[in-house]
A = this chain, B = another copy of it.
Amino acid sequence: MIIDCHGHYTTAPPQHDAWRKSQLAEFGEGRPAPEYPAISDDEIRESIEQNQLRLLRERGADMTIFSPRASAMAHHEGDERTSIEWARACNNLIARVVGLFPETFIGVCQLPQSPGAPLTASVAELERCVSELGFVGCNLNPDPSGGRWTSPPLTDKYWYPIFEKMTELDVPAMVHVSSSCNPNFHATGAHYINADTTAFMQFIQGDLFADFPDLRLVIPHGGGAVPYHWGRYRGLADMLHKPPLTEHVMGNVFFDTCVYHQPGIDLLLQVISTDNILFGSEMVGAVRGIDPQTGHYFDDTKRYVDAAPISDSERGKVYSANTRRVYPRLDKALRARGL
């Protein structure tokens, strides 16, 4: 079984994004959000069948841990109220996708974060999504200011309420920023990768996992710059008088395989224990074209993992065993189906 841990609903019916646009426009005028539009099951079905489902089948994966479009979370727009409404709308739409394709998709939620706001609403939405909608995790934005980086580091007590709720529900988070309103940072080319690198370094500096020994965090996009600079991070942990990274961080942190060329995936699998790597493609996502060097889609990461010089047992961990361990509610759902 092959589970893609990183898929976003980037192809939602246009009414959904149009509603968000109106919501923000009304917010700008000091008015409440308009009513959420009707979206038919057929529209949702079509948006999935022609995109994610088609590509999953073509590429040979079995299911996707599915969450709202990350770049559209835009926690820096509007305020806490608009973030709460938008997160509910996005998560409800994911629940409908899962309801229509229960064998292929399982939900991960967007949180209603807002710069400077406490995480109370995020805790409540996570509880709702897990308990009522059957979701198995969440996306946590380490920079709800969208490239201004005004929140405290992830190791700060500001974040503890969400980590406590995650621990209580036994669900992980993917640490995933959204779009950038800072012209220095291209969203998928700089802000995403920088956030991954930044989060990892925060975990080295802090002692978060002493306080939350069961917390599990997935750093997407192959861990940002971290595996390429693994020597630097091992050395910095040493300079900061921290235990080796394997003990200090890697019991709780996992990287996905959203690295879009063979040498990158090879390095990832060479440097990082295969116990810490989850298959992911970020599909349909950041890079949609075909690599002229290979004739295949850049984000067809399964090809790279298949070609990497690791054993079948290691590949099995990356393709499903690790993911089932990191997302125990997914594992439970699969077991209930005899898988």
Contacts and interface: CB of A to CB of B under 8 A. Distances in A.
Interface of A: 142-143, 147-149, 151-153, 182-186, 188-190, 193-194, 197-198, 201-202, 204-205, 221-222, 224-225, 227-236, 238-239, 259-261, 263-264, 266-267, 270-271, 286-289, 291, 293, 298-299
Given A153-B183, A190-B197, A267-B267, A231 B260 contact: yes
B231 A259 contact: yes
A50 to B, nearest CB: 20
Most buried by B among A184, A230, A293, A299: A184
Given A182-B149, A235-B260, A264-B267, A204 B189 contact: yes
Nearest to A204: B189
A116 to B, nearest CB: 15
A194 B188 contact: no
A231 B185 contact: no
Contacts of A267: 228, 263-264, 266-267
A288 B288 CA distance: 41
A230 B197 contact: no
Contact of A188 (B225, B227, B236): B236
B197 A264 contact: no
A271 to B, nearest CB: 5
A228 B264 contact: yes
A228 B225 contact: yes
A315 B189 CA distance: 30
Identical copies in the complex: 2
Most buried by B among A225, A259, A286: A225
Given A230-B261, A267-B267, 15 more contacts: A142-B184, A143-B184, A148-B149, A184-B202, A186-B205, A197-B197, A197-B225, A222-B229, A228-B228, A231-B287, A235-B286, A235-B289, A238-B289, A239-B287, A261-B271
B228 A298 contact: no
Given A194-B194, A238-B289, A298-B235, A153 B230 contact: no
A288 B240 CA distance: 11
B198 A184 contact: yes
Contacts of A232: 188-189, 193, 221, 259-261, 286-287, 298
A241 to B, nearest CB: 11
Nearest to A265: B231
B143 A239 contact: no
A189 B233 contact: yes
10 contacts: A142-B184, A149-B182, A189-B233, A194-B225, A228-B264, A229-B259, A232-B286, A234-B298, A235-B286, A235-B299
Contacts of A190: 194, 197-198, 201-202
A264 B224 contact: no
